[in-house]
Amino acid sequence: MNKIYITTPIFYVNDLPHIGHAYTTIICDTIARFNRLQGKNVLFTTGTDEHGLKVEKAAKESQKDPTDFVDEVSLNFKNLSKKLEVKNTDFIRTTELRHKKSAEFFWKKLIDSNQIYLGNYKGWYSVKDESFYQEKELIKKNNLYETLDGSPVEWVEEKSYFFKLSQWESRLLEFYEKNPDFIRPESRMNEVKSFVKSGLKDLSVSRTSFNWGIKIPESPDHIMYVWIDALTNYLTSIGYPKIENDKMNFWKNCIHVIGKDILKFHAIYWPAMLMSINFPLPKSIFAHGWWTNEGKKISKSLGNSIDPNKMIDEFGLDQFKYFLLREVPLGNDGDFSEKALVSRVNSDLSNNLGNLVQRVIKFFDKNFNNTVTHSLCKEKNISKIQKKGYELINIVKKKMEKFEISKALEEIFFYVDDLNKFVDESQPWKSFKTNPEKAAKDLSLLIECFRIIGIILQPYIPNAAKKILDTLEVKESERNFINLCVKFSLRKDHKLNEPNQLFPRHEK
Ligand code: ME8
């Protein structure tokens, strides 16, 4: 399918963005870029979740009117996207009129499908998670109940509308069986299945004890449960309720990338609601793992949040992104430390990649006037290392299809290792004195391999990749994956630009 739609969760505007928000956004941006380079049409949305008790409380604590408060905090998230240089096609805010209309329509559909009834909610609620909990999901500490993740819960008794979630157990399980890739990684699918098998209760979907949210059209004393409001954002962004055919094709190939904390909402509530209004389901949900800070959970109370803006200013955007994408297999938890970042960046980016490219091009510049001396475009005669370079994209594609971003990067850097080995063995600086023809050929070959590396690295470290491709004077129109073949190889007399330093070493 030529169309693909990628979404981040929309983030609560109760606090400043931190590394976790940056992480999900970077993953989505990388997947979006990767798909664009394959010639696909990509929609990529991110945004902010601005209603609910948690946000209302945060506004009160700041002594601000909620409307002003959400405008201010949402801007921090928008600015983070800018700082991360992500190429999102939409930034959605749930306080926008287009979203209000969409959420109201979605609600009406649930009513029309006879999925909603009025009742009384009596039970536990966590404002931190904006989630209802059954007692069996909680633990008791110092005589107080809390969630397994340590979120406090409060007892709530109020009039509420309910969604008939309990009716969807068997249809959800059937759907998961038929679509084993719907929830990834596999371990998360198993987790969801056992949650559903343990029994679903009807879901309270409106609140009456506060005001900050979308009012239920027919009962304005009820505020739509923030998760119904929030999940609908994925549809708002593609024009719901008036989705054009073209946009529907994006929807059918939609990937929700989320953190493992919000799996239940996306993998159980959302599909059940979509099924109940007879709306197609997204293609898949990928739940990634959790970052801790030097072994500790990142939390407001510990004050140990990691500011992505600061990390980017200190270490560089590509470096920060590379670390997050490479350090931890997608799906696993990761522990952030500046020491680990510096060591990863110095060894992979500065030493292995940066030094290699700079060393070779500098030498080439000095001795060959930065002009390719050999065309390496005869399919039959191309060397093993050049062939391996063209084949690399197929290996990387397979990893990316399975969301193995870290492994994809590992494969690319195995190839960088191969190039370093080639330099060590061929020693062009030495052979230049005894056999300049061979040195020139080896260097031309290396430069063609840098073209390959530059193109393949674009989704992950776009700025460094651009620097490589600019130095090699590769045409803008020839930087796609389709150009990773001998037909587009650099030819004799192609002139390069002056080399630029790619990655300074960090001494911290
Ligand atoms: O849950 N490690 O918003 P939220 C990795 N508004 N990822 C992390 C993280 C960490 N330590 N902390 C946060 C919400 N994240 C709802 C979503 S969607 C319809 C509504 C990331 O601001 C991760 O993607 O609490 C997680 O799922 C998300 O931020 C939660 O953001």
Task: Give residue 189's pLDDT band: very low, low, confident or very high (50, 70, 90).
Answer: very high
Q: What is the mean pLDDT of the chain?
A: 95
User: Which backbone phi and psi does 58 adopt, to 5 degrees?
Assistant: -65, -40
pLDDT, tens only, 380-393: 778 999 999 999 99
Higher model confidence: residue 79 or residue 505?
79
Reported as type and span, the H/E element at residue 49 is strand 41-49
Q: What's the predicted TM-score (pTM) here?
A: 0.96
> What are the CA-CA distances from residue 290 to residues 27, 457, 496 (Å)?
13, 25, 43
Q: Which of 7, 24, 91 to mutate to test the pocket of ligand 1 (most atoms within 8 A of CB)?
A: 24
At 500 the pLDDT is 83
Ligand 1 centroid from CA 11, angstroms: 6
Report the atom number in ligand 1 closest to the C-alpha of 260. 27
At 294 the pLDDT is 87
Range from 172-181, 374-383, 390-399 carrying the lowest mean pLDDT: 374-383
3-state secondary structure 475-493: CHHHCCHHHCCHHHCCCCC
Range from 213-217, 222-226, 372-376 carrying the lowest mean pLDDT: 372-376
pLDDT, tens only, 287-307: 999 999 988 888 777 788 999
Please give the Cα distance from 222 to 184 (Å, whole number): 35
**Would you say residue 238 has pLDDT above 90?**
yes
Over residues 463-489, mean pLDDT: 97
pLDDT, tens only, 260-286: 999 999 999 999 999 999 999 999 999
At 508 the pLDDT is 64
Percent of the chain at pLDDT > 70 equals 99
Residue burial 378-412, b: 16+ Cβ < 10 Å; e: rest:
eeeebeebbebbbebbebbeebbeebbbbbbbebb
Report the atom number in ligand 1 closest to the C-alpha of 233. 19
Among protein residues, the one whose CA lies closest to atom 24 of ligand 1: 259
pLDDT, tens only, 390-401: 999 999 999 999
**Would you say residue 30 has pLDDT above 70?**
yes
At 376 the pLDDT is 85
Task: Give residue 218's pLDDT band: very low, low, confident or very high (50, 70, 90).
Answer: very high
At 389 the pLDDT is 97
Among protein residues, the one whose CA lies closest to atom 26 of ligand 1: 259
Reported as type and span, the H/E element at residue 308 is helix 308-315
User: Which backbone phi and psi does 57 adopt, to 5 degrees?
Assistant: -65, -40
